[in-house]
Amino acid sequence: MVLCFLSRTLQLARHSSSPLGRQLSSASTNKPVLTLFTKVKFILQEVDITLPENSAWYDKYKYDIPVFHLNGKFLMKHQVDIQKFEDQLVKLELQNDGNQ
C-alpha cells in the first residue's frame, strides 16, 4: 500500500527499524521536521509539488494541501480523516487476503 503526502512546506522525516523503514532527511535544517511513527501498514511517499518535475501535481493541488492518495487513488484532502483512512486500510487488507 502506498500513501502519498503532497506537500509544499514540510519536509517529512520517517524513522523506522523495519525492513521497509527509511529515513528522509531535510536538505535545510531550518525547515520543520514531521515524524510519523507507524506499525508499517503502508509505505509513506512524499511528493514535493514545488519541484519542476511535479508541476502537474502543483497545478492540480496547489490550493488543496495536504492531499492523500492511497494506492494511487485520491483518498482525502485538507485534513486527515483517521476513520476513513483506517477503513480504507482494512478494506485493502481484506481484498489482499481474499486474493491469496
Looking at 1-100, list the stretches that DSSP marks H as alpha helix, in order from N- to C-terminal side: 55-61, 82-98
| pLDDT (0 to 100) of residue 23 | 42
| pLDDT (0 to 100) of residue 91 | 93
**Residue 75 scores a pLDDT above 70:** yes
Domain ranges in the chain? 2-7+30-98
| pLDDT (0 to 100) of residue 18 | 36
First-to-last alpha carbon distance for the chain, in angstroms, is 16
Residues 12-62 pLDDT 10s: 333 333 333 344 444 456 888 878 788 888 888 999 999 999 999 999 999
**Side-chain-facing half-sphere of 98: CA atoms under 13 Å:** 6
Amino acid letter at 8?
A: R
CA distance 24 to 72: 21
Q: May I ask the CATH architecture of the domain 2-7+30-98?
A: 3-Layer(aba) Sandwich (3.40)
CA distance 14 to 40: 11
Residues 3-15 pLDDT 10s: 666 654 443 333 3
Predicted confidence band at 83 (pLDDT cuts at 50, 70, 90)? Answer: very high
User: What's the DSSP call for residue 3?
Assistant: E
| pLDDT (0 to 100) of residue 32 | 82
Residue 4 main-chain phi, psi, to 5 deg: -100, 130
